[in-house]
Amino acid sequence: MIRYDFLDTACGALLVAIDETGLRHVDFVDGLRALPIQPEWRQDSHALAPYLAEFRAYFAGELQRFTLPLAAQGTAFQRAVWQALCDIPYGETRSYRDIAIAIGKPTAMRAVGAANGRNPLSIIVPCHRVIGRDGSLTGYAGGLPIKQALLKLEGIQR
């Protein structure tokens, strides 16, 4: 069963959903591709309390690395991209090309971009840290203003 709750942040409301193995979804409610809550999901503030505490600490500038158990589902390629995203240090950015090289697929920039766009764990798997090779802000499921705000929170000015 998936349990969920919401957290109000400076970037907007955040939906956080877990199952028995860990974090399944993190998504901005008003994002460009917001995840709809499914009828079988149950709101459970108590179960989500430790998860929301880490997000509060992140948004307060007190947490740079999450310790939450993750349960994202995706293809082997998507999981490789998501792991490479997790390897981007707080306060730093990488290009899609950098990620493609990191996973051993240097010509797969578009596929990396697609996997990045299907990331179910916004912020935890820091897809907001991926920018264009020329340093420009590129797509973000939460919308570019949220991406820019997250980068600013981490000390990156764009």
- On whether the CB atoms of residues 22 and 73 are closer than 8 A, the answer is no
Q: Which of 121, 127, 131, 150 is labelled catalytic?
A: 127
Q: Determine whether 127 is an active site residue.
A: yes
User: Dihedrals φ, ψ of 79, to 5°?
Assistant: -65, -35
6: which 2 tokens?
């919401």
* Residue 71 CB neighbour total at 10 angstroms: 17
Bridge-based pairing state of the strands 94-95 and 130-131: parallel
Q: Which active-site residues does the annotation give?
A: 127
